[in-house]
Amino acid sequence: MTKGPIALILGLAVMAAVVIFIIALLVYVADVAPDDESARPNIGQLAWMGLMRTLDTGTMGGDTGHPGFLLGMLAVTLGGVFTTSMLIGIMSNALQSKLEELRKGRSRVIENNHTVILGWSPQIFPVISELVIANANQKKPRIVVMGEHDKVAMEDEIKDRVSDAKNTKIICRSGSPMDLNDLNMVSIHDSRAIVILSPESDDPDSHVIKTLLAITNNPHRRAEPYHIVAEIRDPRNMEVARMVGRDEAELVLVGDLIARITTQTCRQSGLSVVYQELLDFGGDEIYFKEEPALVGKTFGEALSAYEDSAVIGVKAKDGVKLNPPMDAKINAGDRIIAVSADDDTIKLSTLTDYKINDKAIRNDKTAASKPERTLILGWNWRVPTILNELDNYVPKKSEAMVVAGIEDGDAIIARECTKLKNQKVMFTQGDTTDRRMLDSLNVPSYNHVILLCSDTLEQQESDARTLVTLLHLRDIGDKQGNTFSIVSEMLDMRNRELAEVTRADDFIVGDKIVSLMISQIAENKYLNAVFTDLFDPEGSEIYLKPASNYVAAGEAVNFYTVVEAAKRRGEVAFGYRLKAHAKDSAKSYGVAVNPQKSKMITFSEEDKIIVLAES
């Protein structure tokens, strides 16, 4: 009975066979037979008669003959009733158990070339949504999710949060990503990409590292390298994660990434929209393409080689290079890094005359930066990282004020921010939802405001406090002429929608950006190097600079002219922002990434050019 349904069924079959054989033997030895038999039946015939009466208890209804024969057949029939009842019960229970196992998500999936998502967190919904968009042009794409939750509950929540799965089939399994047997359920060895999400726990990195270990050191692992994308929260765990994941894992350092994005977006109005455009699959994204026609040409010459795509770098044998020197040669085997609507839209232009307006090109230098004042409201563990990152961008003699409800914030800042060179940091304890406190800070005197969520409160309570503070800040800005930019952070993505306004400055930075990036890297592992370079203060970053520094204001030019103007400054131009549409969400707040280069456009003094530059 402990060996399962199959053993029970076999046991019943043996028991029934023994009963049938004994009764047949007794009837044969007693030499009793039914009245309708002309000759004495042998043991085999008697056993067959017993078997028929075992399977169908109504068979003996018309039996006549010697009482011994009738008693034998009655015994067989009674045994058959018992055996059949037991068989039905066993099969019913086995079927019920199997259905329950399937409902719990404990069966093995039979997919291959699919994307596996291990772990369950709020980030899973934007990751799935982006992968669905990316898979729209593929045949029968599959996403397999495994988390330590009930299978039906996960499926219901995904259906509720991911409204349209298009042609992608989403399969859920319940299990632990750290368990080798559970990993086999999601056919990890036949997958195309593996995404490991940080769980909502006190030590999420240990779960991620153990999962990496379970995949890469699995005794039954495949010979080919895996394509793994994993989140790491604490930078101190990066080295261990790299040792475990080796070349198979692309690691995304979440804390530093959010801090860097927050720092960059708070200083440049509209930059958040540019990041959104590059990271999601809804518009233009970053792709790689080998272009034999450009071999031997310089990077500067490649900038104008495409009408509908924007070249931003080159992937050479020695790694990714964003905005390399304009005279750098493109060699055989190098791949162009371009911003385009899709990988199949990266096509060389057929134009021979780009109609560049040399007279409209300007080479004005950007005015010397003045010291900046930044106000950080709220506290979480990323505050020291944000301050350290901010110091890489702000001019000397800048200031940063941190206002939060914790008591030892000044001590933490003094301990964690020991290498600040360009800014002075001050700390004030206070309630950021108190309007009187905000008024006392003279918020309009600051250039940038960063509003952070708390990591000590429950998620909804933290977001509610952030929303209250954000409403106060918007009211102060409206009454004072809105002289400062706001970057706010929230935990629950559903609350982000409540905070959306028609100003690109009020960009909600958080785990959603990380989710978008993870989705991109899951589709192309080389994008991790691009994003790492893009968000690193060393090298080239994205800037929005005055259009009048590049071309004459009020004069119609095509974007080839803008590209040429930026090229002469050692920069890559791949978009612009029009001030007139800065509050129009339908027009992406005035941001246009990868515009058609031959199209004419007239810039005003307040418009910006989106460039990739070192400063």
CATH number, domain with residue 346: 3.30.70.1450
**Judgement on whether residues 439 and 492 belong to the same structural domain of the protein:** yes
| Cβ(108)–Cβ(141) below 8 Å | no
The reported pLDDT for the residue numbered 52 is 76
Q: Which pTM was predicted? A: 0.78
- Domain stops at, among 509, 544, 570: 509
**Judgement on whether residues 442 and 556 belong to the same structural domain of the protein:** no
Q: Which residues of 431-464 are buried (b: 16+ CB within 10 A; e: fewer)?
A: ebbeeebbeebebeebbbbbbbbbeebebeebbb
Range of the domain at 600: 268-362+517-613
- Domain stops at, among 258, 286, 321: 258
**Judgement on whether residues 223 and 177 belong to the same structural domain of the protein:** yes
The reported pLDDT for the residue numbered 327 is 94
| Per-residue pLDDT at 306 exceeds 90 | yes
The CATH number linked to 38 is 1.10.287.70
- Contacts of residue 454, defined as CB under 8 A and 6 or more positions apart, other chains included, come to 378, 379, 380, 462, 465
**Judgement on whether residues 136 and 215 belong to the same structural domain of the protein:** yes
The reported pLDDT for the residue numbered 199 is 86
**Judgement on whether residues 137 and 234 belong to the same structural domain of the protein:** yes
- pLDDT band for 371, please (50, 70, 90 cuts): very high
- Does residue 53 fall inside a structural domain? yes
Instruction: In whole angstroms, give the CA distance from residue 71 to residue 438.
Output: 98
| Cβ(424)–Cβ(387) below 8 Å | no
- pLDDT band for 609, please (50, 70, 90 cuts): very high
- Does residue 594 fall inside a structural domain? yes
- Does residue 404 fall inside a structural domain? yes
| Per-residue pLDDT at 270 exceeds 50 | yes
The reported pLDDT for the residue numbered 496 is 66
Instruction: In whole angstroms, give the CA distance from residue 31 to residue 69.
Output: 9
Residue with tokens 């990591």: 455
- Does residue 22 fall inside a structural domain? yes
> Beta strand pairing status for 485-489 and 398-404?
unpaired
CB-based burial label for 101 (10 Å; 0-12, 13-18, 19+): exposed
**Judgement on whether residues 493 and 579 belong to the same structural domain of the protein:** no
**Judgement on whether residues 129 and 200 belong to the same structural domain of the protein:** yes
The reported pLDDT for the residue numbered 1 is 62
**Judgement on whether residues 591 and 527 belong to the same structural domain of the protein:** yes
**Judgement on whether residues 558 and 445 belong to the same structural domain of the protein:** no
| Cβ(539)–Cβ(333) below 8 Å | no
**Judgement on whether residues 144 and 218 belong to the same structural domain of the protein:** yes
| CA 173, chain centre distance (Å) | 18
- Does residue 526 fall inside a structural domain? yes
| Per-residue pLDDT at 565 exceeds 70 | yes
Instruction: In whole angstroms, give the CA distance from residue 602 to residue 547.
Output: 10
Closest CA to 231 of 262, 200, 260, 261: 200
What letter would DSSP give residue 438?
A: H
- Does residue 367 fall inside a structural domain? no
- pLDDT band for 502, please (50, 70, 90 cuts): very low
Structure tokens at 591: 């941001």
Closest CA to 69 of 35, 120, 105: 35
Instruction: In whole angstroms, give the CA distance from residue 124 to residue 149.
Output: 13
Give the tens place of pLDDT for each residue, 438-481.
Answer: 999 999 899 999 988 887 888 788 888 888 888 888 888 888 77
Give the tens place of pLDDT for each residue, 507-547.
Answer: 665 677 888 899 999 999 999 999 988 888 888 899 999 99
CA angle 171, 175, 177 (to 5 degrees): 95
The reported pLDDT for the residue numbered 506 is 61
Residue with tokens 């010291």: 371
- Does residue 242 fall inside a structural domain? yes
Structure tokens at 366: 């950007």
| H or E segment and range at residue 409 | helix 409-416
| Cβ(419)–Cβ(381) below 8 Å | no
**Judgement on whether residues 540 and 440 belong to the same structural domain of the protein:** no
Lowest mean pLDDT among 242-246, 329-333, 451-455: 451-455
- Does residue 524 fall inside a structural domain? yes
| Per-residue pLDDT at 141 exceeds 80 | yes
Instruction: In whole angstroms, give the CA distance from residue 212 to residue 231.
Output: 11
- Domain stops at, among 49, 76, 103: 103
> What is the number of structural domains in the chain?
4
Instruction: In whole angstroms, give the CA distance from residue 343 to residue 271.
Output: 24
The CATH number linked to 252 is 3.40.50.720
**Judgement on whether residues 523 and 490 belong to the same structural domain of the protein:** no
- Concatenating the DSSP letter of every residue in 535-560 gives HSSSS-EEEEEEGGGTB-TTSEEEHH
- Contacts of residue 488, defined as CB under 8 A and 6 or more positions apart, other chains included, come to 450, 451, 466, 470, 499, 506, 507, 508, 509
